[in-house]
Structure 1
Amino acid sequence: MPVSAEMHREIVGQVFARVPDLTTLTLGAIPRPLGSTLDHVFGIGEKLVLIFQRGGQLFGTASLLLPASQPPVPDALLDLAANLVSAALGRHRAERRVAESEARFRTIFDAVSDAIFVHDAATGAILDANERATEMFGHPADDLRRLGIGPLSAGADGYTLENGLARLQAAAGGPPQLFSWHCRHRDGRLFWAEVHMRRASLGGVRTVLVVVRDRTARVEEELARARADDEANHASRLESIGRLAGGVAHDFNNLLTAIIGNVELVCEDLGPLHPAYDRLRDVLKAADTAASLTTELLAFGRRQMILPRIVDPNTVVEAAARLLARLIGENIQLVVTAAPEVWRVRVDPMQFQQVIVNLATNARDAMASGGRLTIGTANVVLDDIFVRGHEGISPGRYVRVTVSDTGQGMPADVLPHVFEPFFTTKTLGKGTGLGLATVYGAVRQNGGIVDVESAVGQGTTVKVYLPAVT
């Protein structure tokens, strides 16, 4: 039955109404004469309207035409029927509103660019997760609810299930939590995320809302910047040490030249039969040793005279390998893996060969019980990302010379110091600490860089990058 605004005001609060004729029932659509005729023809008796409303909200109405032969319907029965239907319609409308609200919430929940988890505040279990969470961690939503936060965490260094639950409990009973977390993807890949936790009550259940934002790119950028800063500081420190060492070595070399020259003249004047001759020869040997040290210091300080020319790196490596075959000992296997058609480089070939010999000698000393020494060459193109972490080079074509061993390796705290002059991990009397310092100075003097990778028990790999001739 259609309801006019006037009738709506009249029926508010009612559950049924008895209507006198069809004209009233149809709001005038059926004229009275026609209505009387229809009553007579169809034997229509009582005309009723059931009004379905709840809390002042009208859901609708239903018209009932009863036969004239039927006795009037009791008011109580009409009241009961109208109230039952009104209650059912009210529930249906409320359920529909809830469903629509949940659909809107789910749409927004799944459209957010961050991963969102809903955790039970008491147990830490995952109650719900959005689509971004399934994409970020690689697990379907059902698996996320079943797995919990343990498999989603890196699992070490403070990023374990226990650490995660402690964070959840802190958020459930206190202020919001904001922190970085090391996460694990389903494929095993680790990544960094920014996590925000806040307690909330959803449907009467105490929960913790967790928002996870992937910040891998930002962390990698920060790490690259930190590495670049460390590299720049390290290079600056070595540069300062190099200038100091080179200056001292230059002056000291001049003094040695005078000492050696005069001692040699005295030896010639006295002759080998003089009682002091042997002692003077010992002085010469000591002075020659000192001169060798100053030569290495000059190389580190990049003040050594060099004669650079365009060379084939493989030719230099092969010449060094022939020399090393007699130096490294029978218990060490020497393997040379020279790349074919390696690019040419502009270096002092003798200085380049000395770099390889120094690196190989260090590798030999790290393999007291024997092992494998590998020397290789390769063409590489260094991009902006690599260059940002290394001071003093530009992107482009380089030749990489790699010297690796299977020796004892070095701890992480030693690596930043390996190029410093007189720094050594060898026992007293086993080395001067100038081998790698000389390598560093020589490579830098020829426009290249040196990288060292090492771990205790896993050997050491030194990579020398020299700019290719274009």
Structure 2
Amino acid sequence: MRAASKRNQRREINKIVGVYALFGSAWIYLSGYALIWLVSDRHIAEQIEVYKGLMFIMVTSALLYQLISRFAGRLAESVDRLEQSEARFQAIYHNVNDALFIHDAATGQLVDVNRTMCEMFGYTPEEAHSLTVGELSLGEPPYTDEDAWLLLQQAASGPPMTVRWRSKKKDGSLFWSEVSLRRADIGGSDRIIVLVRDITARHEIEEALQQNEEILKVLMEEMPAGVGWADESGRVQYLNSYVSDWLGFVSEDRPTLEELMQRALPDPAYRDRTLAPWREEIGKTTLESGTPITPLEAKISCVDGSSRHVILNTRLVRHRLLFTLTDITKWEAMQQEVLKAQKLESLGVLAGGIAHDFNNILTGILGNLSFAELLLDQDHPARGAVKNAEKASQRAAELAHQLLTFSRGGQPIKKVVPLGRLLQESLTLALHGTKVQTRLNLQEGLHAIEADEGQMNQAFSNVIINACQAMPGGGVLTVTAENLPLAANNSQTLPPGDYAKISFSDEGCGIAYEDQKLIFDPYYSTKPGGSGLGLASVHSIVIKHGGRVEVTSAPGAGTTLTFYLPSAGEAVAEEAPRQPERNTKAGEGTVLVMDDEEAIRTLTRDMLQYLGYQVVTCATGEEAVSLYREAAQAGRPFAVAIMDLTIPAAMGGKEAAQQILAFDPAARLIVSSGYSNDPVMAEHAEYGFCAAVVKPYRCDELQQALERVLSAP
């Protein structure tokens, strides 16, 4: 601006000089020739010459006055405008909200600062001019003196730049600033203009936003649900780790929603049936509306081969389709377990109510048949019919035993059982005479389990029989057993510890999705004429052993039933079964029989008399205690007392045994009951009994129990 002003001044001066020279030259030239032409008298011409000179001076003076006055007026206007411009510049320079520094481009020395800089940094104008860039910075990389000089050099030789800087005030406090550097020519000198803006508030907001974004991202990754969103074209933009783990996609893959659903629901018929209302509702709703879509339940297939029951929630917001997949597999399993427990409890009341009478009836039938078989000669024509009737009664007893599995409060009679042997025995018995082939895979060092061998054999057999029925034309049943440690919060919802995992996989027709959650319900069967007790008893047995059973199936792709049973620790050596020693001599002594059923009392009396014992019978626990006391006081104590565990509306065997043992600790007592799962039957020794016989019992079973008790010290 100063150079332009000087140029204008020179231009005005040149104009004044030019006008004066032109006018003077014209005056002298024209007035001289005019005088020569008009005046011939020399004396008069000289006088006119004098007046002409005076006139020239007056006219040129007036001309110069006019020219110089115009020049001075313009100069005054220019100076006034310059002063106003300078005032405006100073007002803007010192009153902007940003601190301004002017540095020499060659040396980097600070030339000038504005008033805002002094207020922002806390220095006086005199102090500010003597500052170095290092004194205005944090002093630690990347905010050191050397870093600042490097930025000044880059700005002096390159384009304008803006950086974020950690600035320092006079009192040593630090604040975040945005620094803009630009090269400029000021008064013919090469300068660097540095603008410093305090962005502390903005930086705090950005940090808060970044922190919230990180928290939101962590929340999205850690929340126990699959989360994602897609754009309005249906291209997925984000998937959290849950969806990635389940379906194998990551956000970088950018699948479409349709591709996502195809992988989640591979069965086309099931996918179309499940997603039809969801697709229709999305098609009728605009992306800008933000309207939530009706939640949808589906069973998705994961890349690891597992399946999960999820609820799909969808919302259309700001040109995005947000969706969450909430895994309710565990919750549903817990709900199903609660429902199953309630159903089994109800059934247990029924089973417990009829078990006593049913087993008493079966005891009378089976006992009399076995007793009749002993009384018949080997070649008697009725012996075959009695044998067949006995087998039919045993099948009825097995059915009663399945019903009793559901009764309340009972626990299995557990012992350490080698799992490999138990599986082989179950397969051999259940597959005899079928077309099904077996593939048995046992892990080396397979742990034993602590289980009721009879109940667990029943559970395995029921599963094997179901697999055979699913493959009527033959096939391969693959049984795999392995050790499996489970951590806390495992997907099976079991307590942490060591377990045995047993899988039965068939090649049958599979189970429909809607039937899978019902197969463990009592009396529910997918087979025409089925009782629905097979898998229900399996479920009850496994639960009472502290384990879990799961089903995985797809229509046409076979079925896998998987058991998780608590391990008994390291593997146990197989022991050859020991045959009980039979005592063929006649029984000696008197046996007290207490049972509320007259038919059973009569049957038991006849069998014991056949075996050589004397027998006294009674119907209640009160009578048994009284008879036992009277016999002991008379010096004719009973050798053994066989007592029914449960007597309706009277004292049962448990209470009677306590009273008998109170005055005769050496009493030999045998408990009898149809409740094979009753705690007293499972742990009879803890209640003072020497042995237990389960109704319905046969003559030889009763004889063996008596011989064991009488031969024991």
Same fold (TM over 0.5): yes
Aligned-residue offset at 1:234? 1.8
Aligned-residue offset at 1:134? 11
Q: Given the alignment of the two structures, is residue 444 of structure 1 paired with residue 553 of structure 2, yes or no? A: no
Aligned-residue offset at 1:250? 3.3
- Deviation string for 1:161-214 (max 9, x for gaps)? 9965863653369x541126889xxx999997754435xxxxxxxxxx234445
Query: Structure 1 residues 368 and 469 mapped into 2: Cα distance closer, same or farther (>3 Å)?
Result: same
TM-score (norm 2): 0.40
Q: Given the alignment of the two structures, is residue 170 of structure 1 paired with residue 285 of structure 2, yes or no? A: yes
Q: Given the alignment of the two structures, is residue 463 of structure 1 paired with residue 565 of structure 2, yes or no? A: no
Query: Structure 1 residues 403 and 246 mapped into 2: Cα distance closer, same or farther (>3 Å)?
Result: farther
Whole-angstrom distance in 2 between the partners of 1:399 and 1:26: 97
Q: Residue 230 of structure 1 corresponds to which residue in structure 2?
A: 336
Q: Residue 316 of structure 2 corresponds to which residue in structure 1?
A: 197
Query: Structure 1 residues 241 and 455 mapped into 2: Cα distance closer, same or farther (>3 Å)?
Result: farther
Task: Decide whether the 8 Å contact of 2:426 with 2:461 is kept in 1.
Answer: yes
Find 1:404's aligned residue among 502, 505, 518: 505
Query: Structure 1 residues 229 and 453 mapped into 2: Cα distance closer, same or farther (>3 Å)?
Result: same
Find 1:332's aligned residue among 432, 436, 440: 436
Query: Structure 1 residues 362 and 246 mapped into 2: Cα distance closer, same or farther (>3 Å)?
Result: farther
Count of aligned pairs = 344
- Deviation string for 1:350-374 (max 9, x for gaps)? 4333332332122112111111011
SS of match in other structure, 2:557 = coil
- Deviation string for 1:312-371 (max 9, x for gaps)? 31232234344456x153x32210000112223211334333332332122112111111
Aligned-residue offset at 1:252? 0.3
Find 2:83's aligned residue among 27, 33, 49: 27
SS of match in other structure, 2:508 = coil
Q: Residue 455 of structure 2 corresponds to which residue in structure 1?
A: 351
Task: Decide whether the 8 Å contact of 1:410 with 1:455 is kept in 2.
Answer: yes
Q: Given the alignment of the two structures, is residue 298 of structure 1 paired with residue 404 of structure 2, yes or no? A: yes
SS of match in other structure, 2:458 = helix
- Deviation string for 1:3-29 (max 9, x for gaps)? xxxxxxxxxxxxxxx875442232189
Aligned-residue offset at 1:244? 2.3
Q: Residue 31 of structure 2 corresponds to which residue in structure 1?
A: none
Runs of 5+ unmatched residues, structure 2:
3-73, 87-205, 221-227, 244-248, 266-270, 570-713
Query: Structure 1 residues 151 and 436 mapped into 2: Cα distance closer, same or farther (>3 Å)?
Result: closer
Deviates more, 1:272-281 or 1:19-28: 272-281
Pairing of 1:68-83 with structure 2 (within 5 A): none
- Deviation string for 1:233-289 (max 9, x for gaps)? 123212332342244233301121123334566777798999998876665454333
Task: Decide whether the 8 Å contact of 2:501 with 2:562 is kept in 1.
Answer: yes
Q: Given the alignment of the two structures, is residue 210 of structure 1 paired with residue 210 of structure 2, yes or no? A: no
Query: Structure 1 residues 324 and 292 mapped into 2: Cα distance closer, same or farther (>3 Å)?
Result: closer
Task: Decide whether the 8 Å contact of 1:316 with 1:353 is kept in 2.
Answer: yes
SS of match in other structure, 1:248 = helix
> CA RMSD of the aligned region, Å?
4.8
Find 1:242's aligned residue among 340, 344, 348: 348
Q: Given the alignment of the two structures, is residue 251 of structure 1 paired with residue 353 of structure 2, yes or no? A: no
Whole-angstrom distance in 2 between the partners of 1:130 and 1:452: 33
Runs of 5+ unmatched residues, structure 1:
3-17, 31-103, 120-124, 199-208
SS of match in other structure, 1:27 = helix
AA at the equivalent of 2:549: V
Q: Residue 414 of structure 1 corresponds to which residue in structure 2?
A: 515
SS of match in other structure, 2:526 = coil
Percent of aligned pairs with the same amino acid:
26
Q: Residue 309 of structure 1 corresponds to which residue in structure 2?
A: 415
Whole-angstrom distance in 2 between the partners of 1:347 and 1:408: 31
- Deviation string for 1:379-404 (max 9, x for gaps)? 123345446x65xx423221111112
